[in-house]
Each structure stands twice: as structure tokens, then as C-alpha cells.
Structure 1
């Protein structure tokens, strides 16, 4: 009663003063909490963004590395295949050249000795054929098949000519083998051109 009367005498409303003090304090606390929550939210959002950015960066780097490895593997395979083709083409050409030379030597006087040499050269040509099938491509394979067929036909024609010459057949029948030689030569030239084109050596 004494405090209230004293306050009344001074013109101060104590409950209102206390209520006002409580409202300001709570406001300060709430404001402080809001600030903390805002700061924490910003930190969490920033952290999530950083994590997401790092993940995206890692994924991009992984894709780039994977593509680089694939490109390098493709390049190395292309180099390897080109070298395998070069070796196979060279072996086929060498065998065809051998058959060509044996046949040329026998154009005028085909006999059993030279025809045996032609057969051996054509047989060697056939032996190198499988390598071409493995390394390709299909266009080379087709040209090689044509050349090998012409080689076997040339071998048969020279053997027939040798037999006919030995038994006195007229010359116009004997020299059929020269026509087979010409067909083989065209096939040989076609294969050379196709091989150069495939290996990028054509002018």
C-alpha cells in the first residue's frame, strides 16, 4: 500500500511500466532469435549450394575424362587397325607380284616347270587372303577376291597352255593364257589402287 500510494503520488503507473519493460525485452529476444535463425538458414543454404556446385563440377569433370579416354582409345585403335591393314595389304601385294613375275616369265614358253612356280605363287597369295578378311574393310575384301579368282584362272590357263604346247596344239589356242595374264594384271592394279585409297596414300 505504501509503494502504490508513493507511486500514485509521483504520477507513475507501475504495472504499465512493468508491462512495457517486458514487451521490449521479449522483442529484443525475438529479434535476436530471428537473426540467428536467418544466419543459420543462410549458412545452410550456402553450404547446400556449395555441395551441389562441387557435385556438378565433379560430374562434369568425370564426363570430360570419360570422353577423353574414349577418344584416346578410338584414336589408338584406328592407328592399330591402319597398321594391321598396311601389313596385310603389303603381304597380299607381294604374293600377287610374285605370281605376276612367274607368269610373265612363262608367257612365251609355258612348261611344267614355270607353271609349277605360278601355282606355288598363287597358293601363297591364297594363304595371305585370310588376313585381309580379318582387317577389311569390305571394299578391299571384294577387290582381293576378284584378284585371287583371276590368279587361279591364270594358273589354270598356263597349265592348259603348257599341256597344249607339249602336244602340238595350234598357237591360237596356246596363247589364251596371255589373256588370263592380262585379266590378272588388271586385278592387280585395281587392288593396288584400292589399298592406296584405304591407307590414304593416293595422290
Structure 2
């Protein structure tokens, strides 16, 4: 029969074994938890790295796409601008046998405006502002030139409608001079013969020729004066248009330099996210 001391020794050994087993299990559990947390942290880090790589790649691809879109828009705008310059020079060339007229220039200015609106969508704001200023001054030139040509055409029709009867004035002057010469001869003969010239038909013819000369001369002078006024008005309008064109040309030169500088900066700087 086992005594109490032996029994206590057995119990102590069991307790020691149980405690060791419990601590061993706890160590295993803690180790597993630590390992799991470490694995999760590593997975999160890898996921974050992958996410950043995807975002960086997407940002780079978007930046490349935006740069190409901007380059295409800028080139298209400058092509429309160069076409406007070509048409403007052709319109102003006195040696041009078939000037293009206003409508092709108006269409080219419209293309400039369209491309400026495209640039406004792509940015950046500095390039947009320079493009809009170029398009605006060109449109002002086109509108002013078209208005002047319309006024000039209307003025030409008015001038053609009152050419002035120069031939009529010459004919009336000649007829009146002839009648005056005939009347002098009649009066000289009547003075020598002592005869009266009262009621002589030549007197009425002379008066009629004089009235005709006066009427035709006044009408022609009125037409010529009106034509001179019309021409003076057209000359004033032409001067105003030329002044506007000169001012706009200087403004466009500055705007083009600004546009070119901003384009270089925009294409040389990586675009920010959005429309930077």
C-alpha cells in the first residue's frame, strides 16, 4: 500500500507535468499567434507595395496619355494658326491674282477656336489662356475685316449708283457755250442794224441751255460730293481696321511667345493627376 508521502510525490509529478504541458501549449499558441500576425503584416505590406506599384503604373500611363493628347492638341492649334497667317498674307498680297477672301479666313479662325477649346479640356491653364488670347485676336481681325469688306461692297454699290453725269455736264456746257456765242453774234448784228431782238427764238434757247447747264452741273456736283463723303467714310473705316490689325498683330506675337513657352513647360513637366 502506497503511503501518503509516496502519493504526494506522485501528485507533485503530475502537477509538474500538467503545468509543463499547459505552458508548452501556451507557448505553441502564442508562437502561432505571433507567426500569424507576422504573416499578416507581411501580406499587408506586400499588398500595399503591389497597390502602390499599380497606382504608380496607372499614374505613369495617364501622364503619358495626357502628354500625347496635349501634344496633338497643341500641334493642331498651331497648324490652324499657321493657316490663318497664310490666308491673311494672301489676302493682303497685291500680287495675288485670286485672293482667298473672308470666308476661308473665317473658317480657319473657327478652327483655331475649336482647337483652343480642346486645349481648355487638357490644360494646363497657362497654355489655355495663351491659346484663347490668340484665337480671340484672330477672330477680332476676321470680324473687323469682314465688316469692312461688307461696308466697302455696299459703298461701291452706292458709288456705282451715282457715278456723276460728267458727259452730261460736258454736253450741257458745250451747248450753253454755243448758244452764248450765237447770242453775242445776234446782239452784235442787231446793234449794227438797229433791229430789236425781242421775241427771237435764240433768247429762249439760250435760257434753256443755261438752265440745263445749271441743273446738270448741280446734280453732278452733288453726286461727286456724296461720293467723296462715302469714300472718306470708307477711308476712316479702313484706317480703324488697319489700326486694329496692327494692335492685334502685336498682341498675337506676345501671345504666341507666351503660348510657346507655356507649351514647352507643359510638355517638359510631368503632368499632375487630373488636369495639372
TM-score normalised over the length of structure 1: 0.77
Task: For 1:37 and 1:177, locate their aligned partners in 2 and report how far apart those are by CA, in whole Å.
Answer: 98
- Seen in structure 2, the aligned counterparts of structure 1 residues 176 and 115 have a Cα distance that, compared at 3 Å, is farther
2:258: which partner in 1? 190
Task: For 2:145 and 2:15, locate their aligned partners in 1 and report how far apart those are by CA, in whole Å.
Answer: 112
1:199: which partner in 2? 267
1:106-125 correspondence runs (5 A) = 106-109=91-94, 113-125=100-112
Task: Identify which of structures 1 and 2 has the higher relative contact order when contacts are C-alpha pairs closer than 8 Å and 6+ apart.
Answer: 2
Task: For 2:148 and 2:253, locate their aligned partners in 1 and report how far apart those are by CA, in whole Å.
Answer: 18
Does structure 1 residue 84 correspond to structure 2 residue 69?
yes
Task: For 1:64 and 1:53, locate their aligned partners in 2 and report how far apart those are by CA, in whole Å.
Answer: 16
Pick the aligned partner of 1:50 from 32, 35, 38: 35
Task: For 1:176 and 1:160, locate their aligned partners in 2 and report how far apart those are by CA, in whole Å.
Answer: 15
Does structure 1 residue 152 correspond to structure 2 residue 139?
yes
Contact kept? 2:119, 2:128, Cα under 8 Å: yes
Structure 1 residues not aligned, in runs of 5+? 1-14
Contact kept? 1:95, 1:124, Cα under 8 Å: yes
Question: Shift in Å at residue 165 of structure 1?
Answer: 7.4
Count of residues paired in the alignment: 186
Task: For 1:112 and 1:159, locate their aligned partners in 2 and report how far apart those are by CA, in whole Å.
Answer: 14
Pick the aligned partner of 1:98 from 77, 83, 88: 83
Question: Shift in Å at residue 112 of structure 1?
Answer: 6.7
- Seen in structure 2, the aligned counterparts of structure 1 residues 153 and 24 have a Cα distance that, compared at 3 Å, is same
Question: Shift in Å at residue 22 of structure 1?
Answer: 1.5
* Rg larger in structure: 2
